[in-house]
Amino acid sequence: MLLVAFWVRFLTFNFMRAHLNDAAWFQHGSYTVFDKRAKDILAGGRMFWIDDSTRTDLIQYPPAFPVWVATIYRVTGQASSFAVQNVQWILDLILTLLLTCGIAFTAYGWRACVATGFLVGLSPLLAIVGASPSADAPTNWFVLGGLWVLLLAARKNKYWLAFAAGLILGVACWVRVNPLYLSVFWGAALFIFMRTGRQKRLVMAAAVVLGALIVISPIVVRNYISFPDFTPLGGTIGANLWEGLGETEFGRQNGFLFGDDLMVERERVRMGLPPEFPIEAMWPDGIKRERERTSESVRFIVRHPLWYSTVMLHRMWGMLKVAGAPLPHYGTAGINVTSKKCLPAERQGGLLAILVNGLGMIQSVSRYALLPLAAFGIWLAAKRNWVATWLLLATVIYYLVPGTAAHTEMRYVVSMHSLLPIFAGVSLATAFERFRMRRVSESSREPRAVATGSYHSIQ
């Protein structure tokens, strides 16, 4: 299992190494923001507090990932995306495999754990996210870690474990804003599906939400103090809503556009700024502009609710479609490793190339099999462990439904794609168990020779 995961990640790492400056594979423009902040921190800048109320660009992303990047720069002595990539792909290989297998083992047993490990190791999407120097992989580590602790809390009925799960999830929100409201879904799943008294269920649900709020609250307080217009944790929900409408033909007909550059250029004209002014998505007046984007988008959605529901369904399918050609605007689901993509020119022939291409073929099969196996596995998993299944499904639903209310990408929902292999693993484990039981049953019905002690039987 570990060898499969290692070679898939290592080969994908080689591919990404050659494409870090290609916007089709990696958003190096967004990484530039983290790089700039990390270098500011190393030069003596503040890691957390914001003194300048005009620097609304500093709330575009939570503060933890720039600190992480600065730490890697300091330790490695190399201030580049390559240094972050070198560190993160190894950590992601170990942590994603450990956490997904741990969740599968805790919820469904060791056979599901083993099957999950192979499916996670083969996943092109998890491999390419892990091999990218972005905030998506570290966020996923904390989401999965919190979920594992939550499963233990539900099994043992321990308030402090539920609280700890919320704390870990809050740390994920310091890295990336996407899991901001996931604690509410976890709390709801605990309250509805735990098999214990109403009061205990309520306390368990409150504990996980409280834990997340305690960790998140310093960022909210900082934003409230630093800026005249209060903003929540940060992020660009208004920009994502606005650009999400620009994904569609109907949205473009009504003035919405897809892409930060097009959106910013439109706002530059509205603000009457000269072409040479260095306007950014969240500067100047980023909070005000975000509210305007949100208001404009929400008004349009409210006028066309049925149409927008079809847009969301299209996005949901885009987030689930890991096989075949990806839908436009949603990013890549990764690559099947091949010798041509992942090996240097001098090694693209011979036995090594054949093995790499064979591994890529296995990846292709696992891609197409994943969703059917996961869909069937949800039913099997619910029969095995009802509470754990709904805790996992609460995470899947969070990323799949409210997570697609605005523009989204495959890398944003990587936590969902870390859980789908667990359900698929339950299907494979169940199939193996039934096959084994059938073989045992057949062997038990086979006639056996009985020694009688006679001359002929001895002969």
Q: What is the pTM of this model?
A: 0.94
What is the arithmetic mean of pLDDT over 427-441?
91
Nearest of 390, 369, 372, 368 to residue 381 by alpha carbon: 390
Q: What is the pLDDT of residues 60-99, one digit of tens each?
A: 899 999 999 999 999 999 999 999 999 999 999 999 999 9
pLDDT at site 444: 75
What is the arithmetic mean of pLDDT over 199-222?
96
Domain spans of the chain, in order of start: 2-436
Q: Which residue has the tokens 């409201």?
A: 181
Helices within 109-158 (DSSP H only): 110-122, 124-130, 136-156
pLDDT at site 76: 96
pLDDT at site 188: 97
Query: Which pLDDT band, with edges at 50, 70 and 90, does 446 fall under?
Result: low
The strand pairing partners of 283, in sequence order, are: 280
pLDDT at site 275: 86
Question: What single DSSP character describes residue 432?
Answer: H
Q: Would you state the structure tokens that stand for residue 88, as one six-digit string?
A: 């993160």
Q: What is the pLDDT of residues 309-345, one digit of tens each?
A: 999 999 999 999 999 988 999 999 999 999 999 999 8
Helix, strand or coil for residue 369?
A: helix
Q: What is the pLDDT of residues 216-261, one digit of tens each?
A: 999 999 998 998 776 664 456 899 999 999 999 999 999 999 988 8
Distance CA 452, CA 447 (A): 15
The fraction of the chain above a pLDDT of 70, given in percent, is: 95
pLDDT at site 229: 77
Helix, strand or coil for residue 401?
A: coil
